[in-house]
């Protein structure tokens, strides 16, 4: 099976975009969505990730999900950035359904997370992702995030999965440079991206080629510049940017994502800041820390 997007590479900065809700939280603000994707395109990111964890995908109805994905793909195409759609589920059948929908709507790729709550073994994870990859002519980025899902893909399982022609990349959010290093060594045909903003440069040092970033919702140009620097072997420049962003990245994860980043975008006038239950707004301490961090970055 050969994907329609085999010419695209999973290298550089990919922004896991927030889903902008209206003031009452009962609908998506598509005008704001358009502005946010345009901001990412101007910032030079390689692509956007739609309806991921940062986009509060568990709280979207199927109708909202389909409309969000369709609108985001159209806007990404205008901006010249890749559109990667979150299609993961803890039900393999549901993940297949979402994978086929993303392909039908014209996505460039899909982000497929470890099945959460079920806690399958490695054989179950292998069969799940192989079934998803077989279901549509669409590149897959595996999403390895045990902190959210309760289970991790091992480097050995990722190596097996990388033999599927549609499985093209992995978002490695284990926070382990050892895991990242082993995956990059075992899977030369698989592009590895950091799933944690503060680990972008450390992971690049052992073979990663980019990041799926939360912070780039706010500073797409800086995250893009960081990736460009290490991809061009300008490691000193990359280290300078890493140090400039390090504390900022840490602040954006003082509470569960996307609580801090949505607070930051509200302060910048770029989002309503509304989250859907069970997510709630940040504590007063978090909001103060976010405001200080934005000021230190000369954004406020």
Which percentage of the chain shows pLDDT scores above 70?
Answer: 97
User: How many angstroms separate the CA atoms of 90 and 96, rounded?
Assistant: 11
Q: List, for residues 127-153, the tens digit of each pLDDT value.
A: 999 999 999 999 999 999 999 999 999
Which parts of 147-267 are beta strand (E)?
167-172, 191-194, 210-213
Catalytic residue among 126, 143, 160, 262: 143
- Catalytic residue flag (residue 171): yes
Mean pLDDT of the chain: 96
CB 282 within 8 A of CB 259: yes
The token pair at 80 is: 């010249």
Q: What is the mean pLDDT of residues 92-104?
A: 98
Q: How confident is the model at residue 270, as a pLDDT?
A: 97
Which percentage of the chain shows pLDDT scores above 90?
Answer: 97
User: How many angstroms separate the CA atoms of 35 and 72, rounded?
Assistant: 11
Q: How confident is the model at residue 7 (pLDDT cuts 50, 70, 90)?
A: very low
Residue range 12-234 in CATH 3.20.20.70? yes
Q: List, for residues 117-133, the tens digit of each pLDDT value.
A: 999 999 999 999 999 99
Q: List, for residues 244-262, the tens digit of each pLDDT value.
A: 999 999 999 999 999 999 9
Q: Over 50: is that where the pLDDT of 112 sits?
A: yes
CA of residue 75 relative to chain centroid, distance: 17
Catalytic residue among 65, 126, 171, 228: 171
User: How many angstroms separate the CA atoms of 133 and 140, rounded?
Assistant: 7
Q: Over 70: is that where the pLDDT of 194 sits?
A: yes
Cα atoms in the Cβ-side hemisphere of radius 13 Å centred on 233: 0
Q: Which of 139, 147, 195 is nearest to 168 (CA)?
A: 139
Residues sharing a CB contact under 8 Å with residue 72, sequence separation 6 or more, in sequence order: 17, 33, 37, 48, 50, 51, 83, 85
Residues in the chain: 300
Q: Over 70: is that where the pLDDT of 65 sits?
A: yes
Q: What is the CA radius of gyration of the chain?
A: 18
Q: How confident is the model at residue 3 (pLDDT cuts 50, 70, 90)?
A: very low
Token pair 């926070």 is found at 175
CA distances to 33, 187, 192 from 256, rounded to whole Å, are 22, 31, 24
Q: Give the residue extent of every domain in the chain.
A: 12-234
* Strands 167-172, 140-144: pairing kind: parallel
- Catalytic residue flag (residue 143): yes
Q: List, for residues 12-32, the tens digit of each pLDDT value.
A: 999 999 999 999 999 999 999
CB 276 within 8 A of CB 21: yes
SS3 for 272? coil
Q: Which of 208, 271, 250 is nearest to 14 (CA)?
A: 208
> Residue 113 belongs to what H/E stretch?
strand 109-113
């Amino acid at each position: 099976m050969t994907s329609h997007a085999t010419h695209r590479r999973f290298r550089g900065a990919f922004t896991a975009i927030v889903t902008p809700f209206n003031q009452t939280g009962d609908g998506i603000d598509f005008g704001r969505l358009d502005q946010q994707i345009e901001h990412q395109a101007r910032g030079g990111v390689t692509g956007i990730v739609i309806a991921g964890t940062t986009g509060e995908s568990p709280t979207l109805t199927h109708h909202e999900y389909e409309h969000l994905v369709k609108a985001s793909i159209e806007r990404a195409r205008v901006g010249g950035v890749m559109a990667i759609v979150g299609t993961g589920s803890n039900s393999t059948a549901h993940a297949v359904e979402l994978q086929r929908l993303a392909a039908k709507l014209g996505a460039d790729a899909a982000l497929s997370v470890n099945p959460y709550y079920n806690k399958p073994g490695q054989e179950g994870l292998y069969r799940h992702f192989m079934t998803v990859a077989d279901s549509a002519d669409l590149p897959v980025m595996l999403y390895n995030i045990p902190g959210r899902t309760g289970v991790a893909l091992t480097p050995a399982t990722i190596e097996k999965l990388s033999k599927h022609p549609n499985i093209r990349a992995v978002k490695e959010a284990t926070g382990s440079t050892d895991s990242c290093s082993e995956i990059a060594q075992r899977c030369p045909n698989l592009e590895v991206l950091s799933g944690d903003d503060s680990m972008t440069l450390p992971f690049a040092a052992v073979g990663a080629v980019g990041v799926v970033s939360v912070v780039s919702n706010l500073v797409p140009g800086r995250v893009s510049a960081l990736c460009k620097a290490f991809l061009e072997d300008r490691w000193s420049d990359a280290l300078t940017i890493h140090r400039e962003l390090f504390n900022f990245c840490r602040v954006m994860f003082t509470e569960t994502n996307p609580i801090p980043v949505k607070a930051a975008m509200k302060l910048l006038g770029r989002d309503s800041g509304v989250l859907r239950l069970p997510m709630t707004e940040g504590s007063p301490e978090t909001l103060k820390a976010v405001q200080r961090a934005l000021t230190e970055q000369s954004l406020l």
